[in-house]
Amino acid sequence: MGVDEFIGKPLTRILIDDREIEESECEEGRARGLKIYPAGRKEFSDIVVRSHNDEVEQRWALSGCPQRDAQGQFTGFCGHASDVTERRRSQNEVSRLAMYDSLTGLSNRLSLSSQLDRQMRVCTAAKRACAIMLLDLDRFKAVNDTLGHQAGDELLKQVAERLVNVVMEEFELGRLGVDEFQIILPDIDDRARLADTGQSIVSLLSQPYSVDGNRCLIGASVGIAIAPYDGVTSEELVRSADLALYSAKGGGRGQFRFYSAELHDKARERTAIEDALRDVLLNEELTLAYQPYVDRDTGEVIGYEALMRWHHKDMGDIPPAKFIPVAEETNLIAKLGEWAIRRACMDAAQWPEHVSVAINFSATQFRQDGLASMVANAIAQAGISPSRLELEITESVFISDLERTDTLFRQLKKLGVRLSLDDFGTGFSSLSYLGRAPFDKVKIDRTFVVGSTDRDSRNPFIISAIVSVAKALGMVTTVEGVEALDELELVHSKGVDYVQGFLFSEAMSHEDVLERMADGRLILKAVGPKRNRAERHSVFRKVGVIHGDHRYDVRLRNLSRSGAMIEGIAEVPVGTELVLDLGGGQLALATVRRSEEERQGIEFENTLISDGNDGLCTRFRISPYALAAAGMPLQALPPGAYPLAHNVGAAGSGVPAFNTRSYASSEDMRYAG
């Protein structure tokens, strides 16, 4: 634009105020600066402007004073302009760096916090939902410590690239800390969709990475919370998602968790477990239970897998799924593992020579110094043949430092012990492990057994493929978790060598093992159901049933994705439509399909989904906005039952249509599994 083109034109026709541009992007944008001061014929200073037609981004700081003639009439402005393009560019870069992570280019903690605050205000005003996911990388520290921070930075960049590819454009993705990420997902409260997204992220981030010529394996844990159900402020929502993430990590990592009110109790329980673990060996509270694995053809016991059991004087029996992850995080697993292998070898010394003992080794144990020496000492003290000891190792030992891993494998094989690749087919399993490490056995995970006899299942083909590869490499195979006769027939037809599962025996104490051996009971028969069926969760807890405008208290006996068994109301005709209140705003429409005295089998209109914690939940919940409209305060959903919206009365209202039975107090209601 030449000088002549400026003459005689208003400033607002040729220049644009930067402040006007910035504020037009906000909800409360206002015309300022260049439009106000010249129009008011007032002095102005350092208004940053650009031209309407300038193809090159250029900024000027404009200052001017109004001019008047001898009669006091306004004649225009006299002023000057300074080129501030570079200064403005630097300021914008500083602002950008303040809101973005310099390593990955994603939004940083400050930006995410600001965006979540804004999103929560919008959602509350419009009575909409907003979900967030907190992600934590599993085993990242091991890679960072082993390969160095430069390799760790490269790995984080690759993680960010994968997340960008899986996260939709309308979501906001950012990095909170070293190996922590957050995703904001506006307008989503469908837990089935969120579960799919969470599982996709876990699976995607668990695939191998190549960093500076090294093959790295990490994983991810995900915590999910949804507003307004799990919090009505950004602080509450983040706190809920963080608690869900904490639960996901404590449950074994490599999984997602939805927030639930019960997680507060679980967090307190985990703290108690951590405190008690420090004295578990001193108090002699640990024992080993042994589950046999048998020959597929004869049912003869080939060996026993040693499983750790903990009975606490106050907390009772604590399952390994709860205390093993805590032991790994607190670096107590090495002591527990050493105790277990010494105890297992001593017990096996009392068995027949042809019966072996298998014991699990976590990746954390596998990386401890002096492992081979400790194993050698345990074998020598027990006086057993090294070939009778089998170490079950998961593929997570291949995370990094493959040279050290290979060295340890050679040391263990030199001792004469047998090595088994455990849980093969899950997580980020790779056939390269079978060719790289000197394994003697491959254990096929139960996830390929469940549903394998269904008509459209592809699991039989996967089982066949694993068996074929193992045989080609001179390895034997064991399949775990066989619980039905049709599953046994299937794995038998696929050529699996050994079978393990409740169909033959559950885990038993060492005393029971010795008793069976003394009686010569080393041949086990398969005893169990003919066919597998949909997995049911025995919950044995108090829930509500709503019929018409009356609510009944009943016991939930078991729960599956498609239905449940309830107990507590009588004379309910088949075909009756009910609403099952599972608590926490979860209502499931159902129809009675079986009715016998005070028990009913009900079928859900919409199937339940996994809650990421071996449990089930509804896809949708009653919105706190609806509850607020019905007179309740706007707050996150409480854990139990409460007055419902949409003309559904409070507990006990209305006239009952069915007979009820009296129950003991709610303290008698316990989770059975």
Check: CB of residue 388 under 8 Å from CB of residue 355: yes
Backbone angles phi, psi at 132, to 5 degrees: -130, 150
Alpha-carbon distance of 119 to 202, in angstroms, equals 25
Q: Look up the CATH superfamily of 282-518.
A: EAL domain (3.20.20.450)
Give the pLDDT of residue 539. 59
Q: Give me the DSSP letters along 58-75.
A: --EEEEEEEEE-TT--EE
The predicted model scores a pTM of 0.65
Contacts of 397 (CB under 8 A, 6+ apart): 361, 363, 366, 367, 405
Alpha-carbon distance of 564 to 542, in angstroms, equals 13
Check: CB of residue 441 under 8 Å from CB of residue 475: yes
Residue owning tokens 């927030």: 259
β-strand 256-258 against 219-227: which pairing, if any? parallel
DSSP-derived letter for residue 649 is P
Contacts of 174 (CB under 8 A, 6+ apart): 101, 106, 107, 108, 109, 111, 112, 181, 182, 183
Q: Comparing C-alpha atoms, which of 560, 493, 567 is closest to residue 532?
A: 560
Give the pLDDT of residue 179. 93
Give the pLDDT of residue 54. 53
Alpha-carbon distance of 522 to 299, in angstroms, equals 8
- Rounded alpha-carbon distances, angstroms, from residue 231 to 115, 136, 452, 634: 16, 21, 40, 10
Residues of the chain with pLDDT under 50: 1, 20-31, 428, 644-652, 662-673
Q: Within a 10 A sphere around the Cβ of 284, how many other Cβ atoms?
A: 7
Domain limits, the chain: 3-92, 100-261, 282-518, 537-668
β-strand 508-509 against 286-295: which pairing, if any? antiparallel
Give the pLDDT of residue 659. 81
DSSP-derived letter for residue 227 is E
Check: CB of residue 553 under 8 Å from CB of residue 601: no
Six-digit token pair at 181?
């990420």
Q: Does domain 537-668 have CATH number 2.40.10?
A: yes
Instruction: Look up the CATH number of domain 100-261.
Output: 3.30.70.270
- Coil, strand or helix at 422: strand
Q: Give me the DSSP letters along 200-216.
A: HHHHHHTS-EEETTEEE
Give the pLDDT of residue 507. 94
Task: State the sign of the Cα–Cα–Cα–Cα dihedral 399, 403, 406, 412.
Answer: negative
